[in-house]
Amino acid sequence: FRRYLLMALTSCLFWNTFGLNAAMDSKPNILLFLADDLGIGDVGCYGNNTIRTPNIDSLAREGVKLTQHIAAAPLCTPSRAAFLTGRYPVRSGMASSNRYRALQWNAGSGGLPANETTFARLLQQQGYTTGLIGKWHQGVNCESFNDHCHHPLNHGFDYFYGMPFTLLNNCQENKPPELDVALQAKLWLYSQIIILAVFTITAGKLTGLISIRWKIITSFTLMGGLFFISWYSSYGFVQYWNCILMRNHDVTEQPMRLERTASLMLKEAVSFIKRNRHGPFLLFVSFLHVHTPLFTTAKFRGKSRHGLYGDNVEEMDWMVGKILDSLDKEGLKNHTFTYFASDHGGHLEAQDGSAQLGGWNGIYKGGKGMGGWEGGIRVPGVFRWPGVFPAGTVISEPTSLMDIYPTVVHLAGGILPQDRVIDGRNLVPLLQGRAQKSEHEFLFHYCGSYLHAVRWHQKDSGAIWKAHYVTPVFHPSGAGACYGKGICPCSGEGVTHQDPPLLFDLSRDPSEAKPLSADTEPLFDTVIRKIGRAIEEHRRTLTPVPEQLSLCNIVWKPWLQPCCGTFPFCWCDKEGDSTQSL
């Protein structure tokens, strides 16, 4: 009996190993979904029972769900730079030391540097056909309107269709402006003061109350006019300059028509899979959902229990389902590594009166823009690869969006760059169940270029220590967000420097509700010293690089503006009636 039992176990082990190896031997297709501003509490498989996300939930049931999946930054541009490169954004210059923490214009000169190597580039070298559908937000040009130095096609993607920028309220008619609202208000005020001064001086001259030469009045009027034109030529036409669609290097809609954008994105994703069904392919579906202005098609408006935001989430989930259906239709489900995540936490401050327009981050404190608090950086993370990853698995180990980089490079048979630090770790052993612990011992949580917090995974005890060195000042006090500011700052008067640091054990207090102290935690001093040494070692690995989000790089430069006509006459609609309902 023992011999037969041993033979059966050996046979089972052989076939399991053989099956896994057989699946791993051939290069899988890779399908990556990344939502924009989606909170971890917005998804059914993460505890939401009122917003319907059946397709994302199905991925989790059929695969692996991560419960401690961490973004490398709490805002779009730096988080996505880290995702694409496997490196903290401070290493590539995509972390800001000023208040502009994301790219502001298509016509800025900042963006993902050409010397950064994305996972798309490495997979391209391994014979993959690579495509990006949706949001880019990593820059376009450097020195001229068509050098495309930051463009997806210059970073390893064979095909691009989508927004080189990001959605804004400015992209939809009758919505309050979102881009640099405080600065625009000041510029309008200064312009009105100049106009009032011109009228006053002119009236004084005409009535003889003021003795001044007409030449001076004319000069002052011209200077005022130039001042107005200098700022209104950019901020007055945001919809034309930023809200555009591109196919590869060509602008196809300027401005874009939001009522058909979701249909276009879905059509492009399905078409890419069909064209490349013989593989291998990498398809990165970078959703415009669920960023404001939350434009949602009529089919989904008013259907959720959470207003426009819930409608938008449910539309995105439907799109995920349609794309997964296309995999099934082509017989590719079992040969495709599929991943779903969000670029950072939900935007708590996004409101319209009493209506909440941003996401929910579950039990976690904080949200978008907050580099330290969990709500800004802990995101959904779901993987599926039938026959390779065990279905219904839940992993609570610390992982990062940066881990996707070495993971997909490994699956493609590529080699990681040896000339730079890669901060991500290959997740395949963890996802397969061959490893029980994450390879991350420390994760560093930045807000812009400022280190706000550090996580220490003490593997021998199972503790997840997290020390906060800088925290945002909530407004109003105790509100949990920076209402009235749009987003919490990273530095200056809007933050508090914690000395000693706030310390939490996330394994016992994931909501970061009760900070520990030397009086309540015997290991307090030991943990703080250990994390302090890790920070010193981490900083020794950093090298100075040009800051891509400097004021010089993020300002609007008309000569860099993507344009489908002759600048400044930039408008077109090359899509026409090409959309069909899917």
Does 419 share its domain with 322? yes
* Rounded mean pLDDT for each run of 10 residues along the chain, 582 residues in total: 44 42 73 98 96 98 98 98 98 96 97 98 98 98 96 98 96 87 90 93 88 90 93 94 98 96 98 96 98 96 95 98 98 98 97 90 97 97 98 98 98 97 98 96 98 95 96 93 92 96 97 96 97 98 97 96 94 74 44
Does 48 share its domain with 121? yes
Does 285 share its domain with 368? yes
| pLDDT value at residue 14 | 40
| pLDDT value at residue 484 | 83
Q: Report yes or no on 504 lying in a domain.
A: no
Q: Which two tokens stand for residue 35?
A: 């939502």
Active site residue 76: yes
Q: Report yes or no on 409 lying in a domain.
A: yes
Does 351 share its domain with 378? yes
Does 248 share its domain with 209? no
Phi, psi of 43, deg, nearest 5:
-110, 140
CA distances, 345 to each of 67, 123, 325, 364, 406 (Å)? 14, 28, 28, 10, 23
Q: Which two tokens stand for residue 421?
A: 């630090």
Does 209 share its domain with 311? no
Identify the residue whose tokens are 């009086």. 519
CATH of the domain at 146: 3.40.720.10
Does 255 share its domain with 229? no
| pLDDT value at residue 182 | 85
Q: Report yes or no on 285 lying in a domain.
A: yes
| pLDDT value at residue 575 | 87
Q: Report yes or no on 476 lying in a domain.
A: no
Q: Report yes or no on 571 lying in a domain.
A: no
Active-site residue, selected from the candidate residues 12, 45, 69, 76: 76
| pLDDT value at residue 577 | 52
Active site residue 137: yes
DSSP state of 384: E
Question: What pTM was estimated for this model as a whole?
Answer: 0.93
Does 203 share its domain with 154? no
CA distances, 371 to each of 232, 344, 471, 502 (Å)? 33, 10, 8, 14
Nearest to 165 by CA among 179, 181, 185: 179
Q: Report yes or no on 60 lying in a domain.
A: yes
Report yes or no: 45 and 394 within 8 Å, Cβ to Cβ. Answer: no
Angle CA 475–499–543, to nearest 5: 95
Does 153 share its domain with 194? no
**Domain with 73 in it:** 29-167+243-440+546-566
Does 154 share its domain with 214? no
| pLDDT value at residue 174 | 83
Q: Report yes or no on 380 lying in a domain.
A: yes
Does 127 share its domain with 200? no
Does 119 share its domain with 259? yes
Looking at the 3D structure of the chain, how many domains does it have?
2
Active-site residue, selected from the candidate residues 12, 45, 69, 137: 137
Name every residue whose Cβ is closer than 8 Å to that of residue 224 and which is 6 or more positions away in sequence: 191, 194, 195, 197, 198
Q: Report yes or no on 488 lying in a domain.
A: no
